[in-house]
Structure 1
Amino acid sequence: MSTLAVAGLSVGGQGIAGAQPGDQAGARYVSLGDSFTSGPSYDPLGGCPQLPYTWPKQFAQQWGLGGDWFDASCSGAVVDGRGTNTFGQQIQAAAGAMGPRTELVTIQFAGNETYGGAGRSAAWSVGTCVLDFVNGCNDAADPAAVRPDAITGPELARRLTAGDSGDIIGRIRSQAPNARIAIVGYPTVLPRDTSVCLPINGLEVPDFQPRAAYARLVLDRIESAQRAAAASLGVDFWSLKGATAGHDACQPLGQRWITRIGDFHEHVLPFHPTQDGYGAQARALTGYRAG
């Protein structure tokens, strides 16, 4: 797992999509998110390009929305943090697309955030740890790495209501008063054990990093914090873990829904959903919407 890859919960992009902002009645669906939503891409000029088969696009198609939706998701986006690619900017971009007609707003976030005074994001911390062959990845040797115990529901709830991006939940409720709001979790990225695989020179190395307990812990803490934050804020939490279990990055080609180094047939960075993976997530979220 490369640092760039896991920063894959991290790398740069701007919302495009069906409905255009400007109609005060709003689009029926609005998506906010990071690179797991938009697809990992980078525009040095500050735009947010999106892949054509991401889960919001497939989800909107399965819903039958036509062009009646808007996707403001952006690779590398953070809630707490300033500069480019923030959820505050996404809310601003989507403001004209939210209105009384809006039925659903989804938010996928947390991997790009720093926690516990760390200088690194969660994604960066996991990536550098996995590549630490000397110390392993049962604990993060980097003193600037994220502390797993700092990833909590109350902290994520605070960021969504009083973080650097302002009161995201409050703005959604104000601008789209009839909308269901759902925090969307991340898919299953790593296997259930504490090893991480990687191909080297075309050969499979199943225990490339056999000491990866920290990586698993950070990802698990993010999921549990998202769930707790959603409960405290009175919004839905839509987990993708169950729907994507058994399709992590260490599964064989054709079975894995998460890319890894060497998957050149996919148009995304390692440790992001494959095209099939995005489709599976869209189907799972369609089930939540109908539920």
Structure 2
Amino acid sequence: MAVEKVVIAVAAAMFGGAAVLPLAGTAPGDAPPPATATGLDSPADSAADHSAVNHYVALGDSYTSGPLVPEQRPEIPGCARATGNYPSLLAQRLDVAEFTDVSCGGASTEHMTAPQEVDGGPNPPQLDALRADTDLVTLGIGGNDHNVFGRFITTCPPLREQDPAGAPCREQFTVDGVDTLVRDATGTGHRIATVLEEIHRRSPDARVVVMGYPRLVPEQGTCPDVMPFADGDLRWWDDVETALNTAIEKAVSADGKATFVDMYPSSRGHDACAGDAAWIQGQHDDPEAAARYHPRPSGMTGMADAAARAIG
């Protein structure tokens, strides 16, 4: 499979909305089963006997699936699931008896209960992977609802030339005094709440861990070669992402049964501008590490660490 075709497909799908270009060597047809493993990195006869987790299901979008993170799984290539994404790392760490990863790049809350059309798919409704005996669920979703991430990443870089020190993109998305991206990010909360209700209904005994998004931009400073946004728009994006994470956290708090993992504290100093310490890839795809504006392997490790701490 040609690397450049993989990169094009991931770039089209990573934040939803765009059609996925066909990959070499794939053909439409019935969706393959999700990535499932039993007794990860341990003898099969001991995993079921000693694991504290019987069945772990990972749900989410590209920040969960891990586009271009090594190694990419062959089933449903348009979902861009990696063996090195944070659910896989977490499953290994917990030595779960059975692990099912149905995360998919470009997914929104809609695709928790509806199929998602991607190359090699469709990816079935993600909640269909849940069972009555599922006892651990991780969920990372929300950034593709209302195409919040996608609009920022595609619209803002070309506007930098207009006012490099200002915030031309924020101005474009402000309509009649209303910041529409912050508004839409905030409005994602009720959708998350609905997803949580359905998870509890299908897997009533499951521990549910909801992952927030790690920080993309630094608290101060800029790096236009890596993040080609106007200076003020970097600060503004932090407001948008904070609004999204706050909406998710409030939905989890109102749910009262799930656990929210705030990735902002642990990802401080690991934004896309942090050089070798960055958890997030900048504007260029790295075919051997991560898709643009997505978690690198180090970011996936950081998210697995945070999830493990939350689970205890």
Q: Match of 2:50?
A: none
How many residues were matched structurally? Answer: 257
Q: Match of 1:141?
A: 172
Larger RCO, structures 1/2 (Cα 8 Å, 6+ apart): 1
Q: Match of 1:209?
A: 230
Distance in 1 separating the partners of 2:228 and 2:77: 38
Maintained 8 Å contact 1:40/1:75: yes
Letter in 1 for 2:93: Q
The equivalences for 1:232-243 within 5 A come to 232-234=254-256, 235-243=258-266
Q: Match of 1:74?
A: 104
Q: Match of 1:181?
A: 208
Alignment partner for residue 48 of structure 1, among 60, 79, 96?
A: 79
Letter in 2 for 1:122: V
1:180: how far off? 1.5
1:130: how far off? 3.9
Q: Higher helix proportion, which one?
A: 2
SS across alignment from 2:224:
strand
Q: Structure 1 residues 265 and 77, CA, compared in 2 at 3 Å: closer, same or farther?
A: closer
1:15: how far off? 4.0
After the TM superposition, list the runs of 4 or more consecutive aligned residues in structure 1 that deviate by more than 6 angstroms. Answer: 4-7, 11-14
Q: Does 1:99 align with 2:132?
A: yes
User: Where does structure 1 lack aligned partners over 5 or more consecutive residues?
Assistant: 21-25, 115-120, 162-166, 200-205
Given the two structures, how large is their TM-score scaled by the length of structure 2? 0.70
Alignment partner for residue 126 of structure 2, among 79, 84, 90?
A: 90
Alignment partner for residue 60 of structure 2, among 15, 33, 36?
A: 33
Q: Match of 1:16?
A: 35
Q: Match of 2:6?
A: none
SS across alignment from 2:145:
coil
Q: Structure 1 residues 122 and 207, CA, compared in 2 at 3 Å: closer, same or farther?
A: closer
1:173: how far off? 1.6
Identity %: 24
Maintained 8 Å contact 1:130/1:215: no
Q: Match of 1:60?
A: 91
Alignment partner for residue 193 of structure 1, among 201, 216, 220?
A: 220
Q: Does 1:224 align with 2:246?
A: yes
Q: Does 1:108 align with 2:140?
A: yes
Letter in 1 for 2:138: T
Distance in 1 separating the partners of 2:300 and 2:126: 21
Distance in 1 separating the partners of 2:198 and 2:170: 38
Distance in 2 separating the partners of 1:261 and 1:148: 22
Q: Deviations over 1:30-76 (max 9, x none)?
A: 11000000013699x885241120000001111111x5111111110
Distance in 1 separating the partners of 2:102 and 2:54: 12
Q: Match of 1:268?
A: 290
Letter in 1 for 2:245: E
Maintained 8 Å contact 2:14/2:62: yes
1:146: how far off? 4.2
1:287: how far off? 0.7
Distance in 1 separating the partners of 2:183 and 2:106: 23
Q: Does 1:245 align with 2:268?
A: yes
Maintained 8 Å contact 1:131/1:209: no
Q: Deviations over 1:230-259 (max 9, x none)?
A: 11112211111111110110012x211111
Letter in 2 for 1:237: F
Alignment partner for residue 188 of structure 2, among 114, 137, 156?
A: 156
1:198: how far off? 2.1
Maintained 8 Å contact 1:194/1:216: no
Distance in 2 separating the partners of 1:90 and 1:60: 18
1:183: how far off? 1.5
SS across alignment from 1:192:
coil
User: Where does structure 2 lack aligned partners over 5 or more consecutive residues?
Assistant: 1-9, 21-30, 40-52
Maintained 8 Å contact 1:184/1:238: yes
